[in-house]
């Protein structure tokens, strides 16, 4: 497409989305979707390997179920979770800045090291997705965090990745005010991201992140920046999110910075094809945007009690659903989990649906099976071990129908079904990654 036509379409898109017209495009060369990704990583047209990545979860953004040892010292009794902070925000708030810093520097120094990145590469992965919160860059006046430190560790991790020939997605995982109310955003039970103060701060942070990690120091290794992890589409104003956050961020990257870095947009839990007309050109080029889908089957009772055939059908549909989408897609999160039994997976004080202990805001669950010995892989039945391996392989088959996958997550302190390194150690995860004990489950192998 000629540059003039490209400029006209981009201006029309901005007008339709009720945002200021982008700056003059006449001096800029805009990459197509494939051009941007080929330059950064691999050549889709020549059918080189897809993204096969792993998430660095629970490190620079705390999640209680990944590192329960950080949260257990707050426990006030053995009968419930009273006293335990429910997220990173309250972790800092309860400890105070000085003590929280002391504990978290120890965590940042030790939970992930250069050896982990060497191991990840040796196990056949080619990319890592690294979550980080807004508070690593800037904070609101009343925030309990100390900013800046996580950013130093992110830079160190990118260098570890470079040393091991791994590529990186930098993922803004938590927005000021929270974009979803999940503990993985840093602040649970609040969805106020689009309030003016929160939105303005998050945009300030995002611009810093875009400028730094699209710059010369990092662009050889950072092949994508995720503008925001898991905004909860059904609970936020998606038009405001697009007009006041996504489009301005894109305009800043392309027109102010003049960078061709690939950007990733999470699907906001909307259905396949929802984003087809967002920043999509008539000739099939996509502005250098990748759509990120996250898929799990453990966060409702209905999903947890699916038969194997039902679970497999849903898994394969995840791959098939992407084939007609306009944007290139990658499954940026999924897991091996067949239960929600991992301690605090649903949040501190909430329980599990699988064993009927779930209780949140008056919602309860019914008994499906026991969570006893869930973290003891030696107590697992042979059927469960086989189903875990089958499920992992089926997801690989599904997600490799398009751009690939990034599994959640590489390690946890205790949970086998959420920790790739433990799954590998116990023979439940393909090694090499192309090994199939159960080939062709989605008829695409």
Beta bridge partners of 55: 129
3-state secondary structure of 67: coil
**What is the Cα–Cα distance from 235 to 219, expressed in whole angstroms?**
34
Instruction: Judge contact between 290 and 326, C-beta under 8 A.
Output: no
Between CA 161 and CA 17 the distance in angstroms is: 38
375 is catalytic: no
Question: 3-class SS at 56?
Answer: coil
d(CA 199, CA 201): 6
Is 230 annotated as catalytic?
yes
Length of the chain: 445
Q: Of 63, 88, 226, 230, which is the active-site residue?
A: 230
Angle at 44 between CA 41 and CA 46, to 5 degrees: 110
Q: What DSSP line would sit under 289-323, residue for residue?
A: EEEEEE--S-SSHHHHT--HHHHHHHHHHHHHHHT
Q: Which of 325, 333, 375, 393 is catalytic?
A: 333
Q: Where are the alpha helices (DSSP H) in 17-167?
A: 33-40, 68-71, 88-95, 97-110, 114-122, 149-163
Largest CA-CA distance found in the chain, in angstroms, rounded: 67
Give Cα 114 to chain centroid, integer Å. 21
How many whole angstroms separate alpha carbon 138 and alpha carbon 133? 9
Give the active site residues. 230, 333
């Amino acid at each position: 497409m000629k540059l003039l036509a490209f400029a006209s379409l981009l201006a029309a898109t901005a007008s339709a989305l009720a945002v200021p017209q982008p700056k003059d495009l006449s001096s800029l060369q805009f990459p197509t979707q494939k051009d941007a990704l080929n330059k950064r990583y691999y050549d889709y047209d020549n059918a080189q390997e897809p993204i096969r990545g792993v998430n660095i979860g629970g490190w620079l953004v705390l999640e209680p179920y990944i590192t329960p040892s950080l949260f257990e010292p707050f426990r006030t009794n053995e009968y419930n979770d009273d006293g335990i902070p429910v997220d990173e925000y309250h972790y800092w708030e309860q400890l105070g800045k000085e003590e929280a810093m002391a504990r978290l520097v120890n965590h940042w120094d030790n939970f992930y090291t250069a050896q982990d990145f060497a191991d990840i590469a040796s196990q056949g992965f080619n990319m890592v997705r690294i979550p980080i919160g807004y508070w690593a860059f800037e904070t609101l006046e009343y925030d309990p965090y100390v900013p800046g430190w996580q950013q130093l560790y992110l830079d160190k991790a990118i260098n570890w990745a470079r040393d091991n020939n791994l590529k990186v997605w930098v993922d803004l995982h938590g927005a000021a005010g929270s974009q979803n109310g999940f503990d993985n955003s840093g602040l649970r039970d609040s969805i106020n991201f689009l309030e003016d103060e929160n939105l303005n701060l998050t945009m300030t942070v995002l611009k810093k992140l875009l400028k730094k990690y699209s710059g010369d120091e990092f662009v050889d290794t950072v092949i994508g920046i995720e503008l925001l992890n898991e905004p909860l589409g059904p609970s936020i104003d998606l038009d405001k999110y697009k007009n006041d956050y996504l489009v301005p961020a894109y305009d800043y990257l392309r027109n102010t910075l003049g960078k061709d870095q690939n950007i990733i947009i999470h699907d906001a839990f909307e259905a396949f094809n929802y984003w087809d007309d967002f920043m999509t050109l008539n000739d099939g080029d996509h502005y250098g945007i990748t759509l990120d889908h996250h898929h799990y089957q453990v966060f409702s009772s209905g999903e947890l009690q699916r038969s194997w055939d039902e679970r497999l059908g849903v898994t394969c549909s995840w791959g098939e659903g992407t084939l007609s989408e306009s944007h290139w897609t990658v499954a940026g999160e999924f897991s091996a989990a067949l239960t929600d039994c991992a301690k605090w997976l649903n949040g501190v004080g909430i329980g599990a649906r699988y064993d009927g202990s779930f209780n949140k805001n008056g919602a309860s669950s019914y008994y499906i099976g026991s969570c006893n010995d869930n973290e003891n892989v030696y107590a697992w039945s042979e059927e469960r071990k086989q189903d875990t391996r089958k499920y992992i392989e089926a997801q690989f088959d599904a997600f490799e129908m398009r751009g690939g996958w990034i599994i959640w997550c590489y390690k946890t302190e205790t949970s086998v079904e959420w920790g790739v390194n433990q799954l590998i150690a116990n023979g439940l995860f393909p090694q090499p990654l192309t090994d199939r004990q159960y080939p062709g489950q989605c008829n695409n192998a």
